[in-house]
Structure 1
Amino acid sequence: MKTADVVLENFRPGVMDRLGLGYEALKAIKSDIIYCAISGFGKDGPLAGAPAYDQIIQGLSGLMSITGDSETAPLRVGYPLCDTLGGMTAAFAICAALVRRGQSGEGAFVDVSMLDSTLVSMGWIVSNLLIAGQQPTPMGNENFTAAPSGMFSTGDGPINIAANKQQQFEMLCDLIGAPELKTDPRFAERETRKRNRFALKGLIEQQLATADAATWEKKFNEAGIPAGQVLNMSQALSQPQVQHRNLFAKVPFGHANRTELQLARSGFQVDGHATGPATAPPLRGQHSEEILGELTAAADA
């Protein structure tokens, strides 16, 4: 503990105290320790002691109620989003605490709630309700703020289109060969398009059926209309943009009849260089002797 900068744990509140490893106990050993506790609901409140997994938080945060459409909601997001948001919130908070310690010498107890982290990530969904009393509804693949903006069928495969601006909408109409939509009173202005979004979507899809998603993606993007194919995961990982960014690292791995593993990097570059793992994840207990030896040496010093 005397050499540690940060302690990170994700037990239910009270567990680390019972083990003699709570914040106050560790602070007595190292006064400037940064102690971060991640739990489903935080260290206090009526749900503080309740168990939680990602899907529990997805439900309690309201996230599932706005995912899917009127027929499929409530629907779980396709990966453990709340777990991820809790971890990212903890990372940001720990970095902030380390900066403060560098300035003031103070340690910190950082209390991260997965429920809080999820709610504050929802942006205008929450602010519209708090400020304007506007209850969000599940809209599936449609964009609440604009139309045509969402997922559309083509002659081969779906495509996402975000013609949110008036100029983009008008250019879209020309590109798909339906200039008359620009002057149709149902679609001529942003708000009327939103009110008639499904009628507009049907008319656009009739035109999109004449070519595949890849063709339309190229045409729209060249014209400045944001568009992209809807890919499966294998397609997403292998697309040229991802490969160009060197998002995946190959690292040595001499186990299970494999010589290497391919792992995702950090998702950002520094000074033009991709960051990420230089080694494979350790096997269980692989570094136990090394770590225990270092701790013993530190304790004897």
Structure 2
Amino acid sequence: MSFPRASTALSRFTVLDLTRVRSGPTAVRQLADWGANVIKIETPAHLEKGEGPGGPRQGPDFQNLHRNKRSVTLDLKSPQGKAAFLRMVEKADVVVENFRPDVKDRLGIDYESLKTVNKRIVLASISGFGQDGPYRDRPGFDQIAQGMGGLMSITGLPGQGPVRVGIPVADLSAGLFCALGVMTALLEREVSGEGQWVSTSLLQAQIFMLDFQAARWLQAREVPKQAGNNHPTAIPTGVFKTKDGHINIASTGQVMWERCCNAIGAPELLDSPDYKTSALRSKNRDPLNAAIEARTKTKTSAEWIDLFNEVGVPCGPIYSIDQVFADEQVKHLRMAQSGTRPDGSEEVFVGQPFSLSRTKTAIAATPPELGQHTDEVLKEFGFSDGEIAALHEAKVV
């Protein structure tokens, strides 16, 4: 195969990508970045109504989501297109989709249908609210899941009212959990020899991401509230003004609390009856934060960051996005990685957040043009030149 792979880690797997917008493409990007043979199946241009889902194809959002993939156009609503897709399923390992739950049933590409073609196939589905249940057919959107999943009730300043998080956390986490589910199913297939249906939803992912905040309710019957920049349980932890800006300080636990007081030159806080225990520091959070900030305003952010880290108190700057990628540690971690476009120009992408010691990943291919690899891929799946020409003539591809 001439198409460059991003890695050798997953190179034995072929993935048919029917996803759109964000949650599904996030899942498939994980597989593509680690070398899976990902074939993005898209609606032919003459059938697309307006701009395709996911924003402009050359925009940064679409580009970052769809690297390391090839593109095939195929009309799944036509008999010829569906038949061609099922021929591809015969040789594939994974199909990923994030349609509304009823769409795959109408198209005849649900799991029960796919497994009659290939019993080893893994179908991965992401929906807004689940594949069944009373909300099954509702349209899903990240911000709706943030609200229903409780996140907006604990984000923002106390009394501010619901606040949306600045990234589509429900979409992104659903995509990552979907990719994890696919890998789990592929590992299980090595034992059973059979594929299975992996499903998740924006709502499930968002609730899982509540983590300890959800556990506070489920186990202690505490309803968490907005805490602004303060950590809800680890105190004092939050944002503090400095001479030239703001920093984050996290001094949870007695040892860190003592180090913090000594670092800011306020040993009297250790002796105050109002701050003797973690519970008292939580109860008297506001005056405690004010007392700390009275000291932090006397030095620059850089001075405090050096001082706190030297004594072992977690502390760091609060960056704008451009400052994030200018940081020396971020550069060292290679969180910005370049890929070469077909015209020879360079494009920069967000890199993978984990590494393997022997098996590397890279931006091996920038995102494809619509249908760029249609004929090439169909030939790999056994279609003859005549069959491919017939699909073109019927405007199926």
Q: For this structure pair, what is the TM-score category when the shorter chain's length is used for normalisation?
A: over 0.9
**Matches of 1:251 and 1:50 in 2, distance apart?**
38
Match of 2:91 in 1: 3
The 8 Å contact of residues 101 and 136 in structure 2, kept in 1 or not, is answered as yes
CA offsets 1:224-263 (integer angstroms, 9 cap, x no match): 00011111100011100010112222111145xx711011
SS of 1:297 mapped into structure 2? coil
**Matches of 2:110 and 2:340 in 1, distance apart?**
38
Match of 1:244 in 2: 332
Larger mean CA deviation between 268-277 and 146-155 belongs to 268-277
State how 1:27-176 maps to structure 2 within 5 Å.
27-176=115-264
TM-score, normalised with respect to structure 1: 0.94
Larger mean CA deviation between 171-180 and 235-244 belongs to 171-180
2:266 pairs with one of 155, 171, 178: 178
TM-score, normalised with respect to structure 2: 0.72
**Matches of 1:62 and 1:298 in 2, distance apart?**
53
Note the C-alpha offset of 1:298.
8.6
SS of 2:341 mapped into structure 1? strand
> Percent identity over the alignment?
39
The 8 Å contact of residues 128 and 141 in structure 2, kept in 1 or not, is answered as yes
**Matches of 1:23 and 1:254 in 2, distance apart?**
37
CA offsets 1:6-34 (integer angstroms, 9 cap, x no match): 01000011111111211111111001210
**Matches of 2:163 and 2:361 in 1, distance apart?**
34
**Matches of 2:95 and 2:275 in 1, distance apart?**
56
Q: Are residues 4 and 254 of structure 1, via their aligned partners in 2, closer, same or farther at CA, if it must alter by over 3 Å?
A: closer
Q: Are residues 185 and 43 of structure 1, via their aligned partners in 2, closer, same or farther at CA, if it must alter by over 3 Å?
A: same
Match of 1:216 in 2: 304
**Matches of 1:183 and 1:275 in 2, distance apart?**
53
Larger mean CA deviation between 223-232 and 241-250 belongs to 241-250
The 8 Å contact of residues 247 and 274 in structure 1, kept in 2 or not, is answered as no
Letter in 1 for 2:362: G
The 8 Å contact of residues 268 and 275 in structure 1, kept in 2 or not, is answered as no
The 8 Å contact of residues 159 and 226 in structure 2, kept in 1 or not, is answered as no
The 8 Å contact of residues 91 and 381 in structure 2, kept in 1 or not, is answered as no
Letter in 2 for 1:218: D
Larger mean CA deviation between 28-37 and 266-275 belongs to 266-275
CA offsets 1:15-71 (integer angstroms, 9 cap, x no match): 111112111111110012101111001110010000011111111111111110223
Q: How many residues are matched?
A: 298
**Matches of 2:379 and 2:361 in 1, distance apart?**
29
**Matches of 2:144 and 2:362 in 1, distance apart?**
31
1:22 pairs with one of 110, 118, 124: 110
State how 1:195-274 maps to structure 2 within 5 Å.
195-254=283-342, 259-271=345-357
SS of 1:283 mapped into structure 2? coil
**Matches of 1:88 and 1:282 in 2, distance apart?**
22
The 8 Å contact of residues 145 and 202 in structure 2, kept in 1 or not, is answered as yes
CA offsets 1:103-128 (integer angstroms, 9 cap, x no match): 11121011211101111121111111
CA offsets 1:146-179 (integer angstroms, 9 cap, x no match): 2211111111111111111212212211221211
SS of 2:90 mapped into structure 1? coil
CA offsets 1:80-102 (integer angstroms, 9 cap, x no match): 10000110110111110000000
Note the C-alpha offset of 1:133.
0.9
**Matches of 1:92 and 1:298 in 2, distance apart?**
36
**Matches of 2:156 and 2:203 in 1, distance apart?**
20
Match of 2:371 in 1: 285
The 8 Å contact of residues 242 and 301 in structure 2, kept in 1 or not, is answered as yes
Extract unaligned runs of 5+ from structure 2: 1-88, 388-397
Letter in 1 for 2:253: K
SS of 1:160 mapped into structure 2? strand
**Matches of 1:25 and 1:272 in 2, distance apart?**
39
Q: Are residues 99 and 272 of structure 1, via their aligned partners in 2, closer, same or farther at CA, if it must alter by over 3 Å?
A: closer
Note the C-alpha offset of 1:273.
7.2
Report the aligned-residue RMSD: 1.7
